[in-house]
Structure 1
């Protein structure tokens, strides 16, 4: 099952209902025109780290780039949009906590260790519909691995 399905499942558990939208930058710009905001935009996976292990398994770590955005007006100044940045950052923080607890079958799906770093920056005037929020770049290591030995 694609990782984006797990990300969408986590997005559906957030305390603020968000629309999940997946695609390339051009696709997201088009899809944002008809999306119900707030949205969680997921871009295609960044590099995947593949780590062979001694026990015959392979661990995968996925670098994921997301944007948590609220629709804003074209005539608003940056200072007027700070509320949206604060709300979006709260959603990004909640997403990290929920991702670390997300379960599939008998165990957690992702491994996020204390001290792992995620990066987030404010995003202003994004897409043609004009939206504001934060981006989030995080690496998620899957707990389930394939054993080939």
Structure 2
């Protein structure tokens, strides 16, 4: 039940970001164009599960977009225009939200399919019987 709620919440965040982009006259298509860029963080899996989980999790959380948004707002208060920072934060948060809405959560060291939202992908036959 908690996983379904988290997935719904993240879907709502993704929709809100899309609506904000449209409302503020920003290029909404940028959300789609930049979507896969954040998945480059999975390249850490070439070094192993631990490095992969660390690099993936460093990008696939809301801290980065929040810090980027705060930096944008601080610059705006100081009368410096840096709209690209707000667009980066929106694309980043949109990516995280869509990933989590689809069930791709933060990774554990046990491999790419073991996430804080549960396992992703097909499970071996009988896995449900063994308690996964």
Report the TM-score, using the length of structure 1 for normalisation. Answer: 0.27
The structure that is helix-richer by fraction is 2
Report the TM-score, using the length of structure 2 for normalisation. Answer: 0.30
The structure that is strand-richer by fraction is 1
